[in-house]
Structure 1
Amino acid sequence: MSLLGRLLGRRSGHAGGETPAIDPAFGDADLRLMLDQNAAADWPALRDGLAAVADQADLTWLVAQLADAPGSETWLPGAAADEPDSALPLLLLGARHVSWAWEARTRATAQHVSKEQWRVFGERLESAEQHLYEAAEREPTWLAPWYFLQISARGASLGPDAARYRFEAALRRRADHLGSHRQRLQQLCEKWGGSHEEMHDFARTAMLAAPEGSPLGELVALAHLEHWLSLDGADARAYINSPAVRDRLHEAADRSVRHPAYSRPRGWQSAHNTFAMALSLAGQPAAANLLFRELDGAVTRYPWAYLNGSPAEAYVKFRDLAARAG
């Protein structure tokens, strides 16, 4: 039985109608248009749209979503060659190679990755590093290259010093960047050579250092999900249901997604899904239900993919359990 099945039971159906589809555009009209342009290899239109984005966090988020869309690795090299003085095609190409590298490696644990997969993974990461560093040199104020360089550093196992340097470089360009904080949290996870203590300390310290209403509160929920995932069976249930974890989750939600000053950034649905899953697992269905109602079917692949089944089906089952309880 899958992890989701063990959590909810084989017969746990849902009463909420059809399973919602995961929207790769997150309901964002700009991103939806860019994804269409990306799929059509319409670089001039995509370039003009990205160049018009003034906010560095928004640009980084848009490029991150485009990087996950397949196919651009075939035509972006030509776009970069045609515009030898432009950083934008290099940024997009480097970001795509990071995502493309992980596609080759897959999300399997290291012992289940073949030698050929490791070879392709390494080649694509090396290419990504080259493109991203060149983009960073051409546009020193840009946040995006340093965001993606954090991911490539972790994949290439460049070590804690390189990882910290790249995180700090990102924060010099945007101190409150949620995406870079998420990447730093991953770097500090036990599975990547860190520890639960480092991870939790980083998450809570970052949250408390930020103003109330900051999206950085999500880091606390992510840290508790990562800790829970590292445990098995009764230990996992005891951990996520402990009063201390519940208190920390509510504190984080109160300082972020539930705070009156919280301003939903692009991709806000990810944080709501993260808190909804964490609070559901922690036995707080009424609190989770409020978030599910705000999401209104806007399911994201993560964190639900951690449950080893269909993310959308997991979302629906937890949503409907929360609705019945809340």
Structure 2
Amino acid sequence: MSLFRRLTGRKAPRGLPPVLDPAQGDEELRRLRALADAGDWAALGPALAAVPDQSEQTWLLNRISDVEGTEEWLAKAVAERPDDSLVLLLSGARHIAWGWEARTGSLAKHVTQDQWQLFGERLEVAEEQLLEVAEREPGWVAPWYFLQLGALGASLGRTVATTRFDAAVRRDPGHLASHRARLQQLCAKWGGSHEEMHAFARTAMLGAPEGGPLGELVALAHLEHWLDLPDGEDHAYLTGPAVRASLREAALRSVLHPAYRPQRDWRATHNAFAMVLSLADERELAHAVFAALGDVVTASPWYYLGGDEAENFRAHRDRCAPR
């Protein structure tokens, strides 16, 4: 019996082509993104408001905020509904995503002055709107998550970032998205260090119940460390015995633990583990994770490899398949 079957009690799906899916295989999210694309707040607003779980609602808002062009109708909706905190929240989230669209994913030295200016202007609008939502709705975790992203982009510094992370986890201690944002803040590329980043990831994982999703932080931390190394050293790092042991522990404590129950954004977590386990030559565990995913590819972290994300997924899935 395969490892996947032993761990999940299910047969692995076979023969499915990998697909990069902005909706991450979630049909409700696909519907909500279509409503956002159509500018239909009359339908989108009540659907979002009806989501009882704040973590799920935050994830939906985040995934909707990258729908291009929504800033146009959101500006009108905010003006027409000045007391609607939810539309203001989505507008703030959209301004962060829109800001990064202006900045692009280029290295800082390749970003033009005009791009930096647009980036800053859009983040300023996001900051104002999200802080207003946080004041209006003190129990909501979502504005504090998006404010973390804004602080990172605007380089507001360690103190502000820490305050916003603490505010988020006071409202939802296991909030995965906020932990991901905090991990980025602690990366060397954002002024942190590998030591801080790894310590945060491991502490968060061990402080959470087994079978929870925070083991993903360990996988992401090793990927960030790998990205920071020159060719040759990167492969040696991920395939070293200590890192492989760390990754095995994280996978078996989280996504491959018998108590694991997928959250709404489980496919992003699985994609992260699938890639890092494959790169680390932990092929049996990687195969179990790939098998759970079927054909759904998330852009992150496969874009780190360059080229086509779905093709990167397919190549690694194939190399980890049993011979």
Counterpart in 2 of 1:46?
44
Superposed, 1:127-146 pairs within 5 Å as 127-146=125-144
C-alpha separation in 2, matches of 1:245 and 1:201: 14
Counterpart in 1 of 2:107?
109
Alpha-carbon distance, 1:22 to partner: 1.4
Alpha-carbon distance, 1:18 to partner: 7.8
Superposed, 1:3-18 pairs within 5 Å as none
Alpha-carbon distance, 1:17 to partner: 7.0
Alpha-carbon distance, 1:290 to partner: 1.1
With structure 1 as the length reference, what TM-score do the two structures score?
A: 0.93
C-alpha separation in 2, matches of 1:88 and 1:72: 15
The answer to whether the 8 A contact 1:19-1:313 is kept is no
SS at structure 1 position matched to 2:138: coil
The answer to whether the 8 A contact 1:285-1:322 is kept is yes
Counterpart in 2 of 1:168?
166
Counterpart in 2 of 1:92?
90
Q: What's the CA shift string for 1:152-177, capped at 9, x where partnerless?
A: 10000000000000000100110000
Counterpart in 1 of 2:304?
306
Alpha-carbon distance, 1:84 to partner: 1.1
> Percent identity between the aligned chains?
57
Q: What's the CA shift string for 1:167-219, capped at 9, x where partnerless?
A: 00100110000000000000000000000000000000000000101100000
Alpha-carbon distance, 1:29 to partner: 2.3
| Aligned-partner residue type, residue 122 of structure 2 | R
Alpha-carbon distance, 1:47 to partner: 0.5
Q: What's the CA shift string for 1:207-240, capped at 9, x where partnerless?
A: 0000101100000000000000000111111100
Superposed, 1:1-326 pairs within 5 Å as 19-325=17-323
The answer to whether the 8 A contact 2:211-2:253 is kept is yes
Q: What's the CA shift string for 1:90-129, capped at 9, x where partnerless?
A: 1000000000101111111111111111000000000110
The answer to whether the 8 A contact 2:16-2:294 is kept is no
C-alpha separation in 2, matches of 1:277 and 1:28: 21
Alpha-carbon distance, 1:20 to partner: 2.4
| Aligned-partner residue type, residue 200 of structure 1 | H
C-alpha separation in 2, matches of 1:54 and 1:292: 30
Alpha-carbon distance, 1:324 to partner: 4.5
SS at structure 1 position matched to 2:232: helix
| Aligned-partner residue type, residue 19 of structure 2 | A
Q: What's the CA shift string for 1:121-152, capped at 9, x where partnerless?
A: 00000011011111111111111000000001
C-alpha separation in 1, matches of 2:284 and 2:249: 16
C-alpha separation in 2, matches of 1:212 and 1:20: 30
SS at structure 1 position matched to 2:39: coil
With structure 2 as the length reference, what TM-score do the two structures score?
A: 0.94
Alpha-carbon distance, 1:26 to partner: 1.7
| Larger mean Cα displacement after TM superposition, 87-96 or 25-34 | 25-34
Counterpart in 1 of 2:7?
none
C-alpha separation in 2, matches of 1:152 and 1:212: 31
C-alpha separation in 1, matches of 2:257 and 2:142: 28
C-alpha separation in 2, matches of 1:84 and 1:102: 26
C-alpha separation in 1, matches of 2:174 and 2:288: 26
Alpha-carbon distance, 1:21 to partner: 2.1
The answer to whether the 8 A contact 2:16-2:295 is kept is no
